[in-house]
Amino acid sequence: MFQTPRKQHRQASAWALGLGLLVLLAFASFASGSRTIPLADTWAALTAFDPSHDTHLLVRELRLPRTFLAITVGAALGLAGALMQALTRNPLAEPGLLGVNAGAAFAVAVGLGFFNMRSPYQYMWLGFVGAAATSVLVYLLGRAHDAGTNPVRLVLAGAGLSVMLIAGTKIILIGGPDETITAYAAWASGSLQGRGYDVLPWVLGACLLAVLTALPLSRSLDSMSLGADLGRTLGVRIRTTWILGALAILVLAGAATAAAGPIAFLGLAAPHIARMITGPTHRRLLPLSMLLGALLLLFADVVGRVIAAPAEIGAGVMSALVGAPFFIALARRRKLAKL
């Protein structure tokens, strides 16, 4: 709505910078990994694809989908976090509150431990199911539709259920052979390794649906942030907004965790940083949260490949190591909004 020219300019620059960085990082992502591929080859792989060239194959089959997945998952988590904070009016909320991470982890552990599943594709479906089931349970137990007025219940329900599921997960791991633990640990570090075209379309599709559901909620979220009473008199249908919003969070966070393993902290940090640039208007906040989430995760993924080559450090882990110092610096300068 009303913005000073200076603020508009600042936002336009932020978007230009962000998109530019994204493109740069994408190229870096194509080029880096266990084998560094020179940029000329990377460009050739994209434009003049030669299936006999193994570097071209590497770029096309592995790095391209991986890069897009990183962007999608990062954007999904950024959006889910912004939605969660808006719905609960709690600046400390993150998508994991609905128990998504714990549910996905439990399902993956069951698959690993009892059915010997090992592929990212299988993890993805396990994760979807686990995350969905858990979120629905938390939603019902926590009476989430009341959470606009009283989020304590939802938060406690999420914490209670999460802890039980995590305990269950650990029981399965400890009871099983050592290789279960190693396989699980690899998934749990939030790794994008080996995520190819089998995983990407599903995740992309799910996130697209969720984004289309969530973005139109912007105006309702703005009014809801004024408090339940004022929101209602301004014509917001609180229950509908909550259900749609929670559904979007569930799909976004569930898909992200299912695809890449649990990635904490990004859903908390990205919206806060975005809010510094756009202010609290959700029409601008939601898209920028997506952009920042994507940037952060892609950056983390690239760094994780570069500094530990030829092995790699999972993107989920790296995003916390990279994002947290930034977040702490902001908190110290009291730049983070109280909502």
Partner 1 sequence: MSALNTGPARTRTLALGPVRLRYRRRTVVTGALLAAAAVVLDIAGMQTGTIALAFGDVLGAVFGQGEGKTLKVVQKIRLPRTVTALGVGACLGAAGATFQSISRNALGSPDIIGFTTGAATGAVAQIVLFDAGPGATALAAIAGGLLAAGVVYLLSLSGGVTGGYRLVLIGIGVGAMLAAVNTILLAKGDSDLAAEAHLWLSGSLAARNWGHAVPVLIAVALLLPVLLGLSRNLNQMEMGDDAAQALGIRTERTRIIAMAAAVGLTAVATAAAGPIVFVALAAPQLASRLTRSPGVHIGTGALMGAVLVAGSDLLSQRLPIQAAIPIGLMTGLVGGVYLLWLLTRSKQV
Pick out residues in 46-85 that bind partner 1 (CB under 8 A).
none
Task: Report how far residue 26's alpha carbon sits from residue 59's, in angstroms, rounded to the nearest whole number.
Answer: 11
Contacts of 125 (CB under 8 A, 6+ apart): 258
Q: Which of 68, 123, 265, 299 binds partner 1 (CB under 8 A)?
A: 265
Q: Check binding of 228 to partner 1 (CB under 8 A).
A: no
Q: Which of 83, 161, 210, 302 binds partner 1 (CB under 8 A)?
A: 161
Encoded amino acid at 9, one letter: H
DSSP E strand stretches across the chain: none
Q: Check binding of 307 to partner 1 (CB under 8 A).
A: no
Q: Which of 148, 169, 329 is nearest to 261 (CA)?
A: 169
> Which tokens in the block code for residue 220?
């309702």
Q: x-or-dash pattern for partner 1, window 99-138, by CB under 8 A? A: ----------------------------------------
- The window from 79-87, 210-218, 285-293, 325-333 that contacts partner 1 (CB under 8 A) reads 325-333
Q: Which of 107, 131, 157, 273 binds partner 1 (CB under 8 A)?
A: 157
Token pair 């493109």: residue: 23
Q: Closest approach of Cβ 292 to partner 1, in Å?
A: 16
Q: Which of 171, 212, 234, 307 binds partner 1 (CB under 8 A)?
A: 171
Q: Closest approach of Cβ 263 to partner 1, in Å?
A: 10
Report whether 15 contacts 288 (CB < 8 A).
yes
- The phi-psi region of residue 116 (left if phi > 0; otherwise alpha if psi is between -120 and 50; otherwise beta) is left
- The window from 167-175, 227-235, 237-245, 246-254 that contacts partner 1 (CB under 8 A) reads 167-175
> Residues touching partner 1: how many (CB under 8 A)?
50
Q: Closest approach of Cβ 16 to partner 1, in Å?
A: 28
Listed in sequence order, the DSSP H helices in 238-281 are: 238-260, 266-278
Q: Which of 282, 215, 213, 207 is nearest to 244 (CA)?
A: 213
- The window from 106-114, 146-154, 245-253, 277-285 that contacts partner 1 (CB under 8 A) reads 146-154
Q: Check binding of 152 to partner 1 (CB under 8 A).
A: yes
Q: Counting runs of H as helices and runs of E as strands, what totals does the chain give?
A: 15, 0
Residue 21's alpha-carbon distances to 177, 190, 197, 269, in angstroms, are 43, 22, 24, 19
- Residue number, 160 or 279, with CB nearest to partner 1: 160
Report whether 289 contacts 280 (CB < 8 A).
no
Report whether 173 contacts 109 (CB < 8 A).
yes
- The window from 110-118, 123-131, 186-194, 249-257 that contacts partner 1 (CB under 8 A) reads 186-194
The binding site for partner 1 (CB under 8 A) comprises: 92, 141-142, 150, 152-153, 155-157, 159-161, 163-164, 166-168, 170-171, 173-175, 178-179, 181-182, 185-186, 188-189, 264-265, 268, 313-314, 316-318, 320-321, 323-325, 327-328, 331-332, 334, 336, 338
